Structure 1
């Protein structure tokens, strides 16, 4: 994730009053909870499914708490008539709080997509030793989410399984690339924390005594490509320096790789220009005026003050430059929707 203080903020947010509170909801967006069984885990993961809404449903603010404003939707509304493309979404890193993808999931649902947002297990501070295995499990969560959508009798009739995409932020971007066929190189991953630019998880590993040169990296070598995937969009992918160049060269699905911020503003562990150059079907773009915090939800008016009072990083609630987060979200949503359409347009 973007910074060490930011990780502490995410940990703090997990203890906030997360969930949903009643509010006027968009009459265009439905939301429901599902689970997906992940064979590689032997356990289910939680999904939040967003979709074009039909009748019924209870208005609520999904993901609202004292720091984040949440997103309006109609809980358990019927699905609108029609058949819609499917997007699986993964947001955040190993210790992220839930519902951070609500802003983009709702915007895509409003544009006519069924969106299955995955919430994998959140590792607690004392679970660093599980971190490496978890990196290898996250792509399997996305495949399981697709299977859950495909197998649900109330969702499947509305799901166009010929138009399937993955959208990922941070470690979710890494997982989405794996679903498209990219592979992590175990030896490059072993070197992740040998330099100060390995990312904030390196401090977590070090504190817990986890040495990447001594752990079992077999979970990272598993083939993760999902043939149902037609296109992928990844934003600020983590572990960008740990990918196998050969694997990137084998990606055939149209892929859009996005870095938030102008050149030189992206943290080294999120810099993805080389990934864009290595994958022959990739299109690489930057978003000047944004930063990694732009990929998180809109904060409440008191959000920054609450973080500051708790000794957390208030930057999580501060907009980049002079552009409000809502405006950046609208810009990113339009960019992502256009990338999805481009990807689907290449289908035979």
Structure 2
């Protein structure tokens, strides 16, 4: 009977893949730094009709609490950049959901588009990974989501400072001296060195804490200059990494390029010609282009929509393979995806 039930679930999962839409479900759980409520949005495969929703000003192709598809799906956590919002990456999240992943997009307290109170502090550096870990636990206990999650297949997507967060979760340890030295060498880097290379020491009880549940990382324009070869020595999960060679915000020679050389296991690294830092954000509406041209407009010859189609397809292939390897006993339950 059990074998028949599992076979039935696998069959429904595979058959439904082409027809899945995306749903979303809001999560609230305690911030591990101060026990205050923090938020995340889970995007998941749905058997409901295609819906479009407005979430905090973003038009997102997902329906709130739409019926969830049958299956046991891999869990991906999304960590946004400094002062950002995970909704800026909504198209990647919904694309992955349609292909059979549950993507929990976390809003980092004190470091998001509405609240900058922890920016430049140790509590932010070390607290962000703790918040992702708490989000994993919350999703695995959520009454709606937990029956459909494979707890042994967990990955993290990190954009910009979210890349730093993801690396810590995989075992990297920031070296604060590297930030100080970088800012002595390049004081003109207004983003990385806005505090002259010194982080506010507001929580001396915090430290880098890895999460052994994390089995794969996807990094986009990662902030990673605080990691040297020795502090990356414990990162042994597969990594898919992207950067733009015209990134005006993060110096790629000291971030993505250096990271690609220093990781113990060589990442699958893609350098996008002509692309800037913000190309990884979802393609903008006309209104967004008018109000936020820096975030929305790309150089001539850079097709953000085409890049995002490729990103989504490659993310599906990467996580399907990497997380199957992390959980060989249940690889048959892996998400089906378009060929």
The question of a shared fold, defined as TM-score above 0.5 by the shorter chain, is answered with yes
SS in 2 for 1:99: helix
1:168-198 CA-to-partner distances (Å, cap 9, x unmatched) read: 0001111001111011012223334323367
Q: Does 1:89 align with 2:68?
A: no
Work out which of the residue numbers 300, 323, 331 in structure 1 matches 2:310.
331
1:200-211 aligned at under 5 Å gives the runs: 200-202=190-192, 204-205=194-195
Cα distance in 2, alignment partners of residues 99 and 280 from structure 1: 32
Q: Is the 8 A contact 2:162 2:222 kept in 1?
A: yes
User: In structure 1, what is the Cα distance between the partners aligned to 2:299 and 2:194?
Assistant: 27
Q: Where do 1:187-266 residues align within 5 Å?
A: 187-196=177-186, 199-202=189-192, 204-205=194-195, 212=198, 215-216=200-201, 222-238=207-223, 240-261=224-245
For the 8 Å contact 2:32–2:131, the answer to whether it is kept is no
1:163 and 2:159 aligned: no
**1:91–1:281 distance in 2 versus 1, CA, 3 Å:** same
Task: Give the Å deviation of 1:219.
Answer: 5.5
* Structure 1 portions without partners, runs of 5+: 1-25, 308-313
C-alpha deviations, 1:211-260, integer Å up to 9, x for none?
717x428659713211111111111111x221142231221111222212
Contact 2:92/2:312 (8 A) holds in 1: yes
For residues 183 and 332 of structure 1, what CA distance do their matches in structure 2 show?
Answer: 28
Residue 61 of structure 2 aligns to a residue in which SS? strand
Choose which of 268, 273, 278 in structure 1 pairs with 2:251.
268
**1: distance between equivalents of 2:248 and 2:321?**
27
Change (3 A) 1:158 1:320: farther
Pairs aligned (count): 305
1:109 to partner: Cα distance:
0.4
* Residue of 61, 73, 77 corresponding to 2:66: 77
Q: What SS class does the counterpart of residue 62 from structure 2 fall into? A: strand
Residue of structure 1 in register with 2:295 after alignment: 316
Q: What displacement does 1:346 show?
A: 2.7
C-alpha change, 1:226 and 1:125, in structure 2 (3 Å) is closer
Aligned to 2:26: 33
Q: Is the 8 A contact 1:290 1:328 kept in 2?
A: no
- CA–CA distance in 1 between the matches of 2:77 and 2:188? 27
Q: Give unmatched runs, 5+ long, in structure 2.
A: 1-18, 329-339
* Whole-angstrom distance in 2 between the partners of 1:267 and 1:114: 29
| Aligned counterparts of 2:203 and 2:290: Cα–Cα separation in 1 | 43
- How many Å separate the matches in 2 of 1:245 and 1:218? 26
Distance in 1, Cα, partners of 2:309 & 2:297? 17
**Shift, 1:288, TM fit:** 2.3
Q: Is the Cα contact below 8 Å between 1:85 and 1:161 reproduced in 2? A: yes
Asked if 1 retains the 8 angstrom alpha-carbon contact of 2:120 and 2:195, the reply is: no
Alpha-carbon shift at residue 79 of structure 1 (Å): 0.9
Say if 1:139 and 1:179, in contact at 8 Å, map to a contact too.
Answer: yes
The Cα shift of 1:160 comes to: 0.8
Structural RMSD (CA): 2.9
> Residues of 2 paired with 1:98 and 1:42: CA distance?
21
Q: Deviations over 1:119-178 (max 9, x none)?
A: 112447874676332121111111111001111122111001111100100011110011
Deviations 1:304-333 (A, max 9, x none): 3334xxxxxx23111343243221111111
> What is the rounded CA distance, in whole Å, between the counterparts of 1:272 and 1:97 in structure 2?
21
Distance in 2 between the 1:190 and 1:296 partners?
29
Tell me how far apart the structure 1 counterparts of residues 233 and 105 of structure 2 sit (CA, whole Å): 28
